[in-house]
Structure 1
Amino acid sequence: MNFNFLSPVSDMVLAHNELISPQAFGRKIRIHSSQNGIPDLTKVNIAIVGVLENRNDINYIGEEFQLNEIRKSLYGLFPGSWGTTVADLGDINKGETVEDTYFALKTTINILVKKNIIPIIIGGSQDLTYANYRAYDDIIPMVNIVNVDCKFDLGDSAKPIKNNSFVGKIILDEPYNLFNYATIGYQTYFNSQEEIDLMDKLYFEAYRLGQVSNDVTIAEPVMRDANMVSIDLGSVKGSELSLNQKYSPNGLDGKEICAIARYAGISNKVTSFGIYEYKPSNDDEITCMLMAQIMWYFIEGINYRVKDDDFSDENSYQKFITLVDSQELIFYKSNKTGRWWIEIPFLAELNNKLKRHTLLPCMHQDYLDACNNKVPDRWYKAFQKNCI
């Protein structure tokens, strides 16, 4: 097992871990320590990986950071009645170059995902999402990314990759594996009209902060279709975070970001999850505790995963057919969970990305809209994307 890139969890955190309750999370997990080395990954379901890389932050001025306080906050929480086994594999240190760090992260995620272990990446700058995406190159043909962020991070792909432009690289770099990119919680005034237009033109999904705050459940079907999830802490409102972390007076609150993380955990498709843009400051406790709780809810979600998308058994679902502008829309509702899907038809005459009928997660509201002769937005974008 080639995990040479990983350095152990610091002795300070391990010493602190000895003082907490035996029932706490930190006492129930397998930890990479300098004394015992990398833990045995047999039957491990989730692995925490820190990445101490922030050189591609547009505001980088040479500062170093550690993730010790986040670990102390997480270890001190109490787990639910979970059946999963979690390991903390320690940190990937800065490489000689940023590309070296990307390679180390890509390789680590690739190994974990192939072993059916879900990595939780806690890191510096959000451009690390690019390395996370590249880890899927030889795993699945098309990748769906969800970015919880106040910005789209499309940027100018002709320029070197930065934490505000990594999505442009993901779209334009070969191999082209990106199928869908969705942003949850974007704030219009942080995005140029050109970027907003480009998101539309590419049929990518974008959910404004107001929509998400009004009804956080709209994030659930988006997460159900995601392979990887990337959270930018800049999407959280400033009052919920410590001094250096504050970015915007508006943003998701602690409850909303935790609910979104839980939806990501419940999704049967999500196989990696990252929280980025951590910036330490002297009054660090509140950000570290929020990150710990985001991870806690993601792990909680994984423990409540239900396999409900097997539509080969007619007794496990109900099927609904509606007509919208002479277009037949077919919906499925799981009897087990009550979750909804809509069918995207396969167009044989087009060289499209789908080789069969594909089911797209949706909400009950999408079915109600279709009954009122309104085409669901997610269906329209997915359908158009297959025709490109």
Structure 2
Amino acid sequence: MNFNFLSPVSDLVLAHTELLSQQTIGKKVKIHSEQNGIPDLDDVKIAIVGVKENRNDVNYIGATLNFDDIRKTLYSLFPGNWHTTIADLGDIEPGESVEDSYFALKTTTELLIEKGIIPIILGGSQDLTYANYRAYDSLQPMVNIVSVDTNFDLGDSSLPIKNNSYLGKIITEEPYNLFNYSTLGYQTYFNSQEEIDLMERLYFEAYRLGEVSKNIHAVEPIMRDAHIVTVDLKSVRAAEVGERLKFTPNGLDGKEICAITRYAGISNKVSSFGIYEYHYAPKDDITAMLISQMMWYFIEGVNCRVKDDDFVNSNNYQKYNVLVEDEELIFFKSIKTGRWWIEIPFLANLNNKLKKHTLLPCAYDDYVDATSGKIPERWYKAYRKNNF
């Protein structure tokens, strides 16, 4: 496989790894080194890729990126009872232009996903999500993105892409592969009313910080339908991170962001995962530790994946039909895991995006609401989008 864009993990990190206990992650991960080159990826399930690109950050003033502290911290942690093999492929260095960096990330991500490997992308500014998304152009026709962020990052799509406006480019540029976009943890005072209204008109999902913090378990069905998960570190409250990462006093705490990344890992659909807006600072041990624990929980989630959405065999599920107003809502519950789905019907006379009966992940609470005569909001938005 051609991974010419990747530079090896630094000798400093490798030297640090030599001193670690044999039971740590650092002793078990396959590492791209100067001496040995790209490791064999045949049995690898997860690959770490750093991207040292931040020039489209609206606040960019020439700062460089370095992921050594994150690697040293991650390597020093002990793995869970994991059965997946992890590789660290090193970093994509800044290209001559930002577009070169995008191309390198797009190509690398596409190669990994085709091989059945989940990339964990470390960035860099969050506009790299655009390059991550474009990696799916030749992989599948419709893509769902979940973004953990304080902002929607819609911006003005007619202007050059920036880390606060990449979503506008994803929506407006061909090929149009985006089906659903969900934001977790947004804070209203960071978003204009026009952007909030646009999210509503597009039938995208947006969950305020208070909603997420109040019921962190509600994140699970949202993640279960995602292909790409992108995390902006600005969504984490200032008390949890080092000086250069402090953005807002309100935000997700360490336990909440780790729970969210674990839900992302558990999702059978999630095939790429990115942590963005890292700003390197010497001796910023607390931020390195938080990111390492977020990665740890994502990997833990991947190791806990269960195939439970096979509804061909009726022995695998229970089916519930609920009449709400003029709609018959059909729910499925996995006997293996107890997780729930709701069917979105296909209207044959409409040229819709999905062309089939689609099962949308949902929560038990959605079923309870339906039995009380309330149509679940996720079903309504997906139904309208399907027939938009």
TM-score interval (norm. to shorter)? over 0.9
Q: Does 1:281 align with 2:281?
A: yes
Q: Is the 8 A contact 1:47 1:89 kept in 2?
A: yes
Q: Structure 2 counterpart of 1:323, which letter?
A: L
Q: Secondary structure at the match of 2:3?
A: coil
1 CA distance for matches of 2:155 and 2:27? Answer: 43
2 CA distance for matches of 1:159 and 1:217? Answer: 37
1 CA distance for matches of 2:229 and 2:296? Answer: 15
Which residue in the other structure is 2:244 paired with? 244
Q: Secondary structure at the match of 1:295?
A: helix
Shift of 1:283: 4.4
Q: Is the 8 A contact 2:369 2:376 kept in 1?
A: yes
1 CA distance for matches of 2:68 and 2:173? Answer: 34
2 CA distance for matches of 1:39 and 1:282? Answer: 29
Q: Secondary structure at the match of 2:158?
A: coil
Which residue in the other structure is 2:302 paired with? 302
2 CA distance for matches of 1:270 and 1:281? Answer: 30
Give per-residue Cα distances to partners, 1:113-156, cap 9 Å, x unaligned.
Answer: 00000000001100000000000000010000000001000000
Shift of 1:65: 1.6
Shift of 1:281: 2.2
Which residue in the other structure is 1:370 paired with? 370
CA-based RMSD of the aligned residues comes to 0.5
Q: Secondary structure at the match of 1:122?
A: strand
Q: Secondary structure at the match of 1:22?
A: coil
Which residue in the other structure is 1:187 paired with? 187
After superposition, where does 1:67-106 map in structure 2 within 5 Å? 67-106=67-106
Which residue in the other structure is 2:112 paired with? 112
2 CA distance for matches of 1:154 and 1:376? Answer: 26
After superposition, where does 1:22-171 map in structure 2 within 5 Å? 22-171=22-171
Give every structure 1 segment of 4 or more consecutive aligned residues whose post-TM-superposition deviation is greater than 2 Å. Answer: none
Shift of 1:282: 3.7
After superposition, where does 1:332-343 map in structure 2 within 5 Å? 332-343=332-343
Shift of 1:206: 0.4
2 CA distance for matches of 1:81 and 1:65? Answer: 32
Q: Is the 8 A contact 2:64 2:280 kept in 1?
A: no
1 CA distance for matches of 2:205 and 2:63? Answer: 35
Give per-residue Cα distances to partners, 1:70-116, cap 9 Å, x unaligned.
Answer: 00010000001100000000000000000000000000000000000
1 CA distance for matches of 2:177 and 2:206? Answer: 20
Which residue in the other structure is 1:255 paired with? 255
2 CA distance for matches of 1:18 and 1:193? Answer: 53
Q: What percent identity do the matched residue pairs reach?
A: 70
1 CA distance for matches of 2:371 and 2:65? Answer: 53
Which residue in the other structure is 1:386 paired with? 386
1 CA distance for matches of 2:153 and 2:285? Answer: 28
Q: Is the 8 A contact 2:150 2:235 kept in 1?
A: yes
Q: Is the 8 A contact 1:56 1:163 kept in 2?
A: yes
Q: Structure 2 counterpart of 1:76, which letter?
A: S
Q: Is the 8 A contact 1:41 1:87 kept in 2?
A: yes
Q: Structure 2 counterpart of 1:10, which letter?
A: S
Q: Secondary structure at the match of 1:45?
A: strand
Q: Is the 8 A contact 2:45 2:116 kept in 1?
A: yes
Q: Is the 8 A contact 1:56 1:161 kept in 2?
A: yes
2 CA distance for matches of 1:30 and 1:259? Answer: 26
Structure 2 portions without partners, runs of 5+: none
2 CA distance for matches of 1:214 and 1:56? Answer: 34
Q: Is the 8 A contact 1:228 1:273 kept in 2?
A: yes
Q: Secondary structure at the match of 2:137?
A: coil
Q: Structure 1 counterpart of 2:208, which letter?
A: R
Shift of 1:247: 0.3
Q: Secondary structure at the match of 1:62?
A: coil
Q: Is the 8 A contact 1:234 1:247 kept in 2?
A: yes
Which residue in the other structure is 1:290 paired with? 290
Q: Is the 8 A contact 1:243 1:283 kept in 2?
A: no
Which residue in the other structure is 2:18 paired with? 18
Shift of 1:356: 1.1
Structure 1 portions without partners, runs of 5+: none
1 CA distance for matches of 2:47 and 2:366? Answer: 35
Shift of 1:326: 1.5
Give per-residue Cα distances to partners, 1:330-358, cap 9 Å, x unaligned.
Answer: 00000000000000000001111121110
Q: Secondary structure at the match of 2:196?
A: helix
2 CA distance for matches of 1:278 and 1:386? Answer: 36
1 CA distance for matches of 2:189 and 2:123? Answer: 26
Q: Secondary structure at the match of 1:206?
A: strand
Which residue in the other structure is 2:312 paired with? 312
Which residue in the other structure is 2:325 paired with? 325
1 CA distance for matches of 2:283 and 2:18? Answer: 24
2 CA distance for matches of 1:328 and 1:165? Answer: 39
Q: Secondary structure at the match of 2:179?
A: strand
Q: Secondary structure at the match of 2:152?
A: coil
Q: Secondary structure at the match of 1:369?
A: helix
Give per-residue Cα distances to partners, 1:173-223, cap 9 Å, x unaligned.
Answer: 000000000000000000000000000000000010000000001110010
TM-score (normalised: structure 1): 0.99
TM-score (normalised: structure 2): 0.99
Q: Is the 8 A contact 1:339 1:363 kept in 2?
A: yes
Q: Secondary structure at the match of 2:330?
A: strand
2 CA distance for matches of 1:175 and 1:68? Answer: 36
Q: Does 1:272 align with 2:272?
A: yes
